[in-house]
Structure 1
């Protein structure tokens, strides 16, 4: 059994996890008094709003999961066989909740980011959503502000230092997780992976351009992909992705490293499938003679 305790928001500064949460917020987070609208405000003003942006665009400190049914607290603490969340923010009118899990080691989305870490984060989050019966379309842009008296906020026995992704992954059914190649288009951090993968190929094709030229070229492309999501990423998150791709493509060793990557992929493919050179030649000859691609 996990003990939970309702927070007295008049003295929230005395609650270690809430102090840590506020310290980790962006300096100027998106925030709002109502759904479907947001504005940027300084942190000291934003923490007075009803909804708030939980993570800075460059890193993820917290996994936030949205449960749109009245059994959310029981699901989080007993049914799902997951570690307890650090914070539970409940709507008193319908008992819907946001669950907040602090990460021991933040996952950097761009700059210091590594793609495998972002994909791992997306997969773990996906598995947690499935186990909790949570809203898979929740984008995590804005969450119920745990400091707002509109909500009931609870703390649990979760460790203040947070959970590692490796630890959380032990509780997730791996059969439910999408592979790294599958796009989790409208689900949590899967959008970041998908947007990066869709946009970067356009940058690779223009790798001789300058950094500024690439940013100018890739921005509308990334925005177009982003607008196809049910819940688009914030504009500053899109720009971080674009700038990350532009920085990589304008590195002096980009052509050489990209060539090495292609050669590595080719070697891996040959190890798995064998050398297909002769097969490719045969297919081209058949196509030249008018054989349909489906038949080939």
Structure 2
């Protein structure tokens, strides 16, 4: 099959995910018929090649996940939202999943926190999708729509990072980077590698016991160890030799596989699910509970923000509500029924309205039933500062669900 092919007509059709790929790509991206992508062409011509640079330098518009397994529907099994595009290898079944996100600037002038948040979301999704954690959205990926690949376009919506974060536990985004006292071991490459790699092993071992095997577990550790072995960039004279990597991997793999059962700090098993249930079933049930709890908490925060604004005599704008509730304007927009009920309370003083979760949440695995007023009495309360010396009482969020 010729590698240079006519571009898919959807690239030039407004409102499609492929059109967004074209519009957000660099003006002269890298492209080629292999992963090196050594050529550069105008983007209208680069889409004719099977591999191309998707994100612009310094701007991430797509989170792209490299699946080295044939289950391109793993996002559904893990209770994650639908990707915009699934670009699958017709022979091996391996694929790239494309998630369109509100662009995040990654230049030197960009703020650190949005970049760190994006990386945390990406790492957590990589674990849930069993994707390559070191792919980091390319920069070169399979070109959607090219005849070499089978391309499915599921939708053309753009995700907010906060919306994606609702589906994963960011605490597991980089567990291998926690609880490591780097200052105490910064002089030793072996100690640094051991500390980071063992925490990474703790994060994935239960998943590999359920859906993989010992060999796949070792392969994940091997890939991570080679990624961590960049000590020359940290001021050391040289990286660790391959023999040292192998010895550390073997030691960590054997002990973790035989002895590690999980951290007692994690609230696991809160749903008391039958351990004999298949992993996808437990993940789906856990996702259902997590989504329900988070939407209830968000609804109550928005209601408290509306109450505070009404007490001040201010307008119930999405920006004002979002600022007080600590959510984005887009999130407030999905709870438009709740805000309208608050407005109606102005016309009927003394009435107390119930809070309904949004009925038009797109691509959510489960919809959430109406949340009663009594919910505020069932959870711990915290205060949010609305400015001007006024506060509102809202439920404390953060209750974890069974994560399978």
Matched, 1:147 2:116: no
Q: CA separation in 1, counterparts of 2:123 and 2:135?
A: 11
Matched, 1:88 2:105: no
Shift of 1:44: 2.3
Q: How many residues align?
A: 185
Q: What is the aligned counterpart of 2:77 among 79, 86, 93?
A: 79
Shift of 1:10: 4.5
Q: CA separation in 1, counterparts of 2:12 and 2:37?
A: 28
Hey, what does 1:28 align to over in structure 2? 28
Please say if residues 59 and 107 of structure 2, whose CA atoms lie closer than 8 Å, have aligned partners that are also in contact: yes
Hey, what does 1:115 align to over in structure 2? 112
Secondary structure (helix, strand or coil) at the match of 1:118 reads helix
Secondary structure (helix, strand or coil) at the match of 2:70 reads coil
Shift of 1:19: 1.1
- Give the 3 Å change call, closer, same or farther, for CA 179–57 of structure 1 in structure 2: farther
Matched, 1:13 2:9: no
- Structure 2 length as normaliser, TM-score? 0.41
Please say if residues 119 and 180 of structure 1, whose CA atoms lie closer than 8 Å, have aligned partners that are also in contact: no
Matched, 1:169 2:158: no
Please say if residues 63 and 125 of structure 1, whose CA atoms lie closer than 8 Å, have aligned partners that are also in contact: yes
Shift of 1:138: 1.7
Uncovered stretches (5+) of structure 2, i.e. residues with no partner: 1-6, 179-195, 198-222, 240-404
Secondary structure (helix, strand or coil) at the match of 1:130 reads helix
Hey, what does 1:133 align to over in structure 2? 130
Hey, what does 1:286 align to over in structure 2? none
Structure possessing the higher relative contact order (Cα contacts under 8 Å, 6 or more residues apart): 1
Hey, what does 2:211 align to over in structure 1? none
Q: CA separation in 2, counterparts of 1:148 and 1:34?
A: 13
Please say if residues 60 and 108 of structure 1, whose CA atoms lie closer than 8 Å, have aligned partners that are also in contact: yes
Q: CA separation in 2, counterparts of 1:137 and 1:19?
A: 27
Shift of 1:36: 3.3
Shift of 1:58: 1.4
Shift of 1:63: 0.4
Shift of 1:27: 0.5
Hey, what does 2:293 align to over in structure 1? none
Secondary structure (helix, strand or coil) at the match of 2:113 reads helix
Please say if residues 10 and 16 of structure 2, whose CA atoms lie closer than 8 Å, have aligned partners that are also in contact: no
Output one character per residue of 1:82-126: Cα deviation in whole Å (capped at 9) or x when no partner.
1100111011101111000001x2110015511111111111000
Hey, what does 1:4 align to over in structure 2? none
Aligned-residue RMSD, C-alpha: 3.2
Shift of 1:144: 0.3
Hey, what does 1:51 align to over in structure 2? 51
- Structure 1 length as normaliser, TM-score? 0.55
